[in-house]
């Protein structure tokens, strides 16, 4: 989270990972938007809610910043305060029409919001409040660009807005709203040179530290270097085609679905295999993939799964991307769910121990400094071969409130980013809320896939 005086705020730059995500959006299929739908017991007071949001944008200046890039700059784009920031550009209230005020109708609005590109001249977030549901509930829709935060960061960011008790008053900002101070072109050039100089010094120091950490034995040292080089090569190796012949088409059209599973049931199933909840979650998704392919008479032996592995520390701010993207080939030939969960534990453990896991920022730095067309092409090839993505985001284990209104549920919709479907789990109190982001070209029959997910998870939790 950015703090300090206004000049410090305007000195911020994108990390290399954030910059890479920014660059590859030249291809609309690779846009990285995190969307979520939070259901509320009823609609909050509009005036009160907007004051709360205004206060949070002061406490978290990143929410008032836009990205300023220079096509010929040697440094990543800057986060700069938007001199024309207005809350109304980012917060919208929509009253659903009678007869079109169900959850399913609301999901269509959420899909449309997620498909729309951000206005990149403004801060990269949108909040939409939907009211007049036939159940009396309301919905809070949040849309964040992935360069603002990763999954865990977005949860941390949202906690700036949510309260732990219903009577909490809007938290007043500890400082006045920051004021934008646009930089001259000469100032930008000087600061870009200084950034690259400091970055080079940091890279040199990190390289020296890495060399010092190598084993003393020449043989062991050669082994570590060889394994690391092989790991980097595997990570960057293009996968030009997905392994599924069924889910091979891609588009920018989304189809959102939801699923809710008791956390206790998922954990009970995982315990049978001596595993954790994430293994049960991924096993349920793989089971759905098998059901879906079999129903289309297109069985496959394995699929390529994209899965982020968090590298976040307690000191990392909400507005930070701290994860490593991994690609794991998972089998669809293991019928025993217990055996499958145990095998998944092995695959994920292997991914976590991969020497390239900690080199994501360095690799992003190299890729982001290549010609943008080349960078986008390389990234597209790397993502094109991912069949599906999964993400498990730990949420809040206790009730929270938004503007004094109890939160009922929270459904996350992760970016598809070139895969056929992204299935993201967000836990809240005692329920695992699953958001399913489907590329409609890859999976045109969303109902069939959703039924496959329901069937697979029902079978899994029935084991316990």
Which residues have CB under 8 Å from 235's CB, separation 6+? 327, 354, 356, 363
**Is 18 strand, coil or helix?**
helix
333 with 293: CB under 8 angstroms? no
Residue 28 or residue 429, greater confidence: 429
Cβ atoms within 10 Å, residue 234: 11
pLDDT-based confidence at residue 218 (cuts at 50, 70, 90): low
Helix (H, G, I), strand (E, B) or coil at 356: helix
Greatest Cα pair distance, the chain, in angstroms, is: 74
**pLDDT of 238:** 56
Please state the rounded mean pLDDT for residues 267-282. 96
The mean pLDDT value of the chain amounts to: 82
pLDDT > 70: percent of the chain: 73
**Would you place residue 225 in the very low, low, confident or very high pLDDT band (cuts 50, 70, 90)?**
very low
Residue 237, pLDDT above cutoff 60: no
| Cα(180)–Cα(84) distance, integer angstroms | 9
Residue 336: phi, psi to the nearest 5?
A: -80, 115
pLDDT tens figures, 120-130: 899 999 999 99
Dihedral sign for Cα atoms in the order 352, 358, 361, 363: negative
Structure tokens at 219: 């043989």
Q: 10 or 342: which carries more pLDDT confidence?
A: 342
Average pLDDT over residues 192-211: 57
d(CA 319, CA 10) in angstroms, rounded, equals 15
H or E stretch covering 409: strand 405-413
Whole-number pLDDT of residue 24: 75
Let me know: does 435 contact 268? Beta carbons within 8 Å.
no
Check residue 3 and give its pLDDT. 41
DSSP strand pairing (302-310 vs 388-396): parallel
Band the pLDDT of 370: cuts 50, 70, 90: low
pTM: 0.83
How confident is residue 224, by pLDDT bands cut at 50, 70 and 90? very low
**DSSP strand E in 340-400: where?**
388-396
Task: Write out the H or E segment, with its range, that includes residue 288.
Answer: helix 277-295
236-395+418-461, CATH topology level: Chloramphenicol Acetyltransferase (3.30.559)
Q: Please give the Cα distance from 174 to 192 (Å, whole number).
A: 31
């Amino acid at each position: 989270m950015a703090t300090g005086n206004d000049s410090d705020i305007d000195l911020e730059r994108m990390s290399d990972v954030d910059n890479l995500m920014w660059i590859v959006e030249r291809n609309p299929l690779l846009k990285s938007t995190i969307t979520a739908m939070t259901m509320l017991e009823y609609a909050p007071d509009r005036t009160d809610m907007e004051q709360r949001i205004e206060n949070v944008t002061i406490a978290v200046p990143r929410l008032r910043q836009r990205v300023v890039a220079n096509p010929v700059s040697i440094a990543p784009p800057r986060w700069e305060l938007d001199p024309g920031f207005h809350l109304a550009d980012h917060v919208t209230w929509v009253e659903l029409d009678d007869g079109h005020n169900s959850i399913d109708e609301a999901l269509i609005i959420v899909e449309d919001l997620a498909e729309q590109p951000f206005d990149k001249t403004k801060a990269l977030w949108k909040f939409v409040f939907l009211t007049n549901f036939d159940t009396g509930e309301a919905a809070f829709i949040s849309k964040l660009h992935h360069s603002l935060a990763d999954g865990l960061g977005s949860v941390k960011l949202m906690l700036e807005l949510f309260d732990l008790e219903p009577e909490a008053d809007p938290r007043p900002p500890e400082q006045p709203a920051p004021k934008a101070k646009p930089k001259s072109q000469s100032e930008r050039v000087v600061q870009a040179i200084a950034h690259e100089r400091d970055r080079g010094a940091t890279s040199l120091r990190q390289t020296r530290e890495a060399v010092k950490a190598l084993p003393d034995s020449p043989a062991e040292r050669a082994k570590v270097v060889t394994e690391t080089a092989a790991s980097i090569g595997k990570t960057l190796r293009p996968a030009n085609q997905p392994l599924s012949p069924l889910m091979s088409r891609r588009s920018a059209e989304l189809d959102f679905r939801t699923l809710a599973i008791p956390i206790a049931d998922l954990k009970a199933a995982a315990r049978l295999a001596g595993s954790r909840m994430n293994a049960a979650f991924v096993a349920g998704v793989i089971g759905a993939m098998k059901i879906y392919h079999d129903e289309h008479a297109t069985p496959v032996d394995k699929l390529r799964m994209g899965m982020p592995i968090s590298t976040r520390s307690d000191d990392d701010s909400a507005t930070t991307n701290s994860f490593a993207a991994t690609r794991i080939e998972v089998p669809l030939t293991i019928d025993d769910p217990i055996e499958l969960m145990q095998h998944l534990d092995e695959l994920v453990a292997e991914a976590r121990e991969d020497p390239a896991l900690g080199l994501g920022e360095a690799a992003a730095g190299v890729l982001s400094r290549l010609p943008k067309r080349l960078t986008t092409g390389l990234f597209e090839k790397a993502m094109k071969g991912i069949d599906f993505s999964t993400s498990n985001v730990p949420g809040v284990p206790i009730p929270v409130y938004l503007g004094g209104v109890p939160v009922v549920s929270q459904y996350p919709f992760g970016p598809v980013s070139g895969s056929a479907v992204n299935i993201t789990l967000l836990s809240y109190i005692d329920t695992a809320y699953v958001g399913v982001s489907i590329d409609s070209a890859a999976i045109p029959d969303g109902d069939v896939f959703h039924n496959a997910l329901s069937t697979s998870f029902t079978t899994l939790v029935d084991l316990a």
